[in-house]
Amino acid sequence: MDKKEGKEKEISEEVIPKRKTKEIYVILAFMAGLVILFLISVSIFNSLKIFDYEGLTFTKERFGEIPVFHYYYYINNPITGNVIAKYNLYLRNDPRENDVPIEGEIEFLSPQEYHYISVNGTGLEQCPQSSLAIGTLSAFLTNNQLSVKGASPESEIAEKEVVPYITCENTKDRVVILIQSGNETKIERIGKRCHVISVSNCEILEAIEKFEVQSILDARKRAGI
């Protein structure tokens, strides 16, 4: 082997490791790019699942096969101020798209006072979500440490079902939530302590969920949050 061939061989032996090193760097850079792209995609995907509504942070989740909108908050003891429970609110309807109109502030009494859910079933019995919606409202109030009683605004039904006969007119010293069929789905406060939830086209779950969310917003407003 002459000197020229030997020199070419040395150059070749030097170039090959450099090429391999460069290829490794390229592969590592590509893999790092994929990881960064994956993390960005996950971040964007998660951000699409989280949104704010009137200062409340909701997360899109799934309850089995059912898509839900989740918000939680802590309940404090009104006397000591200590946290006594965590409440998880799950909605079937996106609160940003729930346009049920509402008039008047929603306000409850102390936990020791009864809150009546008075239901006029006429026109609501055929609605598939009636039982779910009313049960959800009852659980919402109870889990927020409020005392709840079922009632009817129809005297004959109240007597037959052995429940209190409660209307906005005959009960002024307690909070009354009157649920009834109407020409328009809406929520309105009548007098000092009566909240009427009128339901049209079986939009009872939308109305109940609007009531729950608005009651939280009104409570936060009173607390200066």
Q: What is the pLDDT of residues 157-208, one digit of tens each?
A: 999 999 999 999 999 999 999 999 999 999 999 999 999 999 999 999 999 9
DSSP state of 152: B
Mean pLDDT of 142-165: 95
Residue 119 CB neighbour total at 10 angstroms: 23
CA 57 – CA 60 distance, rounded (Å): 10
| Domain assignment of residue 53, yes or no | no
Residue of higher predicted confidence among 212 and 85: 212
CA 216 – CA 210 distance, rounded (Å): 10
| 104 and 39 housed in the same domain | no
When divided into structural domains, the chain yields a total of: 2
| Domain assignment of residue 156, yes or no | yes
| 123 and 214 housed in the same domain | yes
| Domain assignment of residue 72, yes or no | no
With CA atoms as reference, report the closest residue to 171 among 134, 116, 122: 116
In the predicted structure, residue 41 carries a pLDDT above the cut 90: no
| Domain assignment of residue 65, yes or no | no
In this prediction the pTM is 0.78
| Domain limits for position 190 | 100-222
Tokens of 13: 């032996």
- Whole-number average pLDDT of the chain: 86
Mean pLDDT of 204-215: 98
| Domain assignment of residue 76, yes or no | no
| Domain assignment of residue 105, yes or no | yes
In the predicted structure, residue 39 carries a pLDDT above the cut 60: no
CATH of the domain at 139: 3.30.379
